[in-house]
Amino acid sequence: MAQPDWRTLDLDAAVLREPVPEENRVVFWLTGGVADGFRHWERIGSVPGGELPAAHGLAATAATAIRARQRVQGFFGRLLERWRPPNAGPTWVHPNGSVAEQVGPRQTDLLLVWADPEAVPVAPARIAERWPQAGPVRKIAGNLFLVAGVEPAPRPDEAAQGSPRQQAEARLAAARQARDCPRQASALTDLGVACLRGGEPHRAVQLLEDALTIARRLRDRTQEIDVLGNLGLALLAAGRPGRGA
């Protein structure tokens, strides 16, 4: 399945692209407007290895999202920023270079959907036919849409390997044996998230801190940002919200 050329998409006016080093991955920022002194955003990122088989003339890849906000600047915005508590939430680097604070948990029931072949327009009826359980559908660019309410089913080979935690442990063991540091960081992150969801926040913190150390050593800013977001949630769940990363 061929993915669109993410770098040449004609994005809608309310969508920004975040630079990422991987050619097969994309991150978008969707503006949500201004409310209560904050500008609100959604950061949408494709999931590596989350591609689905093409069907009904549609191709797709799994995606996740976090909601983020930035204090509106100006005199009163700067005044209020002084009263912002330290480490109020995980932070992300916005495409304009500023910092945005994460609000709430990560959303995982998303798909980025495009036409296969690309020349055929995407019709909402075809999306509803393939994913009848889908929720809201939003246009990102020309023939690219964000579909909510769909938790992608695990691939048959993944189901045979066990739970997401078991899969992450297996990937971590293989990466360590191969001395593949980028894969170790990714597997440590996945295992940390699995432990967090499984009610083991303290182990999640340890795993994510190990992933952060590797990401920083590799100077992989994209991986570092992803780890920091999850580490902030793990620290909060472990009762250590004030601890900096």
For residue 208, what pLDDT is reported? 94
pLDDT tens, position by position, 134-148: 888 999 988 899 999
Please tell me the pTM assigned to this model. 0.61
Interval 106-133: pLDDT, tens: 788 899 999 876 667 777 788 888 888 8
Above 60 in pLDDT, residue 154?
no
Q: How far apart are the first and last CA of the chain?
A: 38
Does pLDDT of 206 surpass 70?
Answer: yes
What digits encode the pLDDT tens for the residues 62-89? 898 989 998 886 544 444 444 444 445 5
Query: Any idea where the domains of the chain sit in the sequence?
Result: 6-148, 156-237
CA-to-CA distance for 190 and 145, rounded, in angstroms? 26
Phi-psi region of 127 (alpha: psi -120 to 50; beta: other; left: phi over 0): alpha
Q: Flag whether pLDDT at 187 surpasses 80.
A: yes
> Tell me, what's the pLDDT at 118?
64
**Average pLDDT score over the chain:** 81
